[in-house]
């Protein structure tokens, strides 16, 4: 059995990842590099779907790559690359877009949310196409599993449908990928509004903890996180969504179960619990921040890592794309 392959991507659309990105996705990526043939991609093509500034995109693409190294990805154990360095992504996107129904793409909830925000008339066609480009990212690498947060489930369903459709029409070409979603951390909530997910676009600054944020500010936000009626530290999605979210963050970072924490904090108030959680988050993020800063300090080395990653990625993507061109019926270029 060959080593199973994973691929995932993250957008360089902020100056820092947030705790939801880290717990829901990047932490799994770090673990999976030990057991899987892993490809991780800074998806800059996706990052221009909502409008952007070129200098900011350049900076954020390096910051995103540096944070992946800071979080513990090791370029010797996995392939880290920038999406636009591998032109096959845009090429496969086109082929897949011709297999995607207009109605099918219109039903993507992330598109509906984001286009509603941008205004239906001004939202770009790129935003509409976003999930099809994501499908291309995944299928190019013959990916077995895709580690992401819960919000990406629908895009993965579309990816599977497109892979099956292509295989059915043109012959077996793509591996059908599955989601790799870790239930308890798949949807980290906003600290101020536990009804919504922590998100760079929807959360207020108080509701979001950044990976690169300074410790004093992290402590303040956790201390002020919305808790619920009563004083009991107990997981209850319906009655106590705020405390439940904090318990999940705690459990994930400490490597213990929520039930253990309920026992440990039985009879104590929110204050002590939040203080311990703040210590835990600060201690978990500090080394990531330090290593990210180190990676950013040597831009030449960072760019070298990305160039090496792109070469490895192109090797795999190029092989898939040659097969796709032949299956679709494009004439060989001589
Ligand atoms: P993005 O920043 O949209 O590129 O997301 C990067 C990764 O983080 C994706 O796998 C998302 O599913 C995941 N993610 C984003 N927000 C959250 C959240 N609040 N909880 C868990 N995972 C998340
Ligand atoms: N759409 C994903 C997100 O917002 C990012 C992404 C792009 C991705 N391409 C991907 C995730 C391929 C997994 C696989 O988080």
Residue with tokens 């599993």: 145
200 is catalytic: yes
How distant, in Å, are the alpha carbons of 217, 232, 246 from that of 270? 19, 8, 10
Report in angstroms the alpha-carbon separations of 230 from 17, 236, 248, 269, 309: 32, 12, 19, 9, 51
Is 21 a pocket residue for ligand 2 (Cβ < 6 Å)? Answer: no
274 catalytically annotated: no
Query: Which of 51, 86, 61, 55 has the alpha carbon at shortest distance from 312?
Result: 86
- 109-118 and 153-170 helices cross at what angle (nearest 10)? 120
Residue listed under structure tokens 């870790």: 182
Decide: residue 325, CB within 10 A, 0-12 exposed, 13-18 middle, 19+ buried: middle
Find the catalytic residue in 187, 197, 240, 274. Answer: 197
Mutate which of 5, 9, 150, 160 for ligand 2? The one with the most ligand atoms within 8 Å of its CB, which is: 9
Q: What is the DSSP string of 134-165?
A: HHHHHHHTT-SEEE--GGGHHHHHHHHHHHHH
In the structure encoding, which two tokens stand for residue 76, read together? 């010797």
- CA nearest 176: which of 153, 159, 198? 159
Tokens 């096959």 locate to: 88
Q: Whose Cα sits closest to atom 9 in ligand 2?
A: 134
The torsion region of residue 4 among left (phi > 0), alpha (psi -120 to 50) and beta comes to beta
Q: Report the C-alpha gap between 98 and 76 in whole angstroms.
A: 37
Q: pLDDT 10s digit of each residue in the chain, 334 long?
A: 789 999 999 999 999 999 999 999 999 999 999 999 999 999 999 999 999 999 999 999 999 999 999 999 999 999 999 999 999 999 999 999 999 999 999 999 999 999 998 887 889 999 999 999 999 999 999 999 999 999 999 999 999 999 999 999 999 999 999 999 999 999 999 999 999 999 988 889 999 999 999 999 999 999 999 998 888 999 999 999 999 999 999 999 999 999 999 999 998 989 999 999 999 999 999 999 999 999 999 999 999 999 999 999 999 999 999 999 999 999 998 8
Task: Give residue 277 CA to ligand 1 midpoint distance, Å.
Answer: 21
């Amino acid at each position: 059995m060959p080593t199973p392959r994973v691929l995932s991507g993250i957008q360089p659309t902020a100056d820092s990842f947030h705790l939801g990105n880290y717990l829901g996705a990047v932490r799994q990526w770090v673990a999976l590099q030990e057991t899987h043939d892993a490809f991780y991609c800074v998806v800059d093509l996706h990052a221009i779907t909502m409008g952007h500034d070129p200098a900011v995109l350049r900076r954020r693409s390096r910051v995103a790559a540096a944070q992946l190294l800071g979080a513990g990805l090791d370029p010797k154990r996995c392939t880290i690359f920038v999406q636009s360095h591998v032109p096959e992504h845009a090429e496969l996107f086109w082929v897949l877009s011709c297999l995607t129904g207009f109605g099918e793409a219109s039903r993507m909830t992330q598109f509906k949310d984001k286009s509603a925000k941008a205004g239906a008339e001004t939202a770009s066609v790129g935003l509409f196409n976003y999930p099809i480009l994501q499908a291309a990212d995944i299928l190019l690498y013959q990916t077995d599993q895709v580690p992401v947060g819960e919000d990406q489930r629908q895009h993965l369903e579309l990816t599977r449908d497109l892979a099956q459709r292509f295989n059915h029409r043109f012959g077996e070409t793509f591996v059908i990928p599955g989601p790799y979603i870790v239930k308890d951390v798949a949807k980290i909530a906003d600290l101020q509004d536990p009804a919504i997910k922590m998100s760079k676009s929807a959360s207020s600054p108080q509701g979001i903890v950044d990976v690169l944020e300074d410790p004093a500010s992290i402590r303040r936000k956790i201390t002020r996180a919305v808790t619920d009626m009563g004083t009991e530290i107990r997981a209850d999605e319906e009655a106590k969504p705020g405390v439940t979210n904090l318990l999940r963050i705690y459990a994930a970072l400490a490597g213990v179960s929520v039930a253990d924490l309920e026992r440990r904090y039985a009879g104590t108030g929110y204050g002590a619990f939040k203080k311990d959680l703040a210590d835990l988050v600060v201690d978990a993020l500090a080394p990531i921040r330090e290593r990210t800063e180190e990676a950013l300090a040597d831009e030449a080395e960072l760019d070298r890592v990305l160039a090496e990653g792109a070469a490895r990625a192109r090797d795999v993507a190029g092989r898939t794309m040659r097969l796709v061109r032949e299956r679709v019926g494009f004439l060989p270029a001589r």
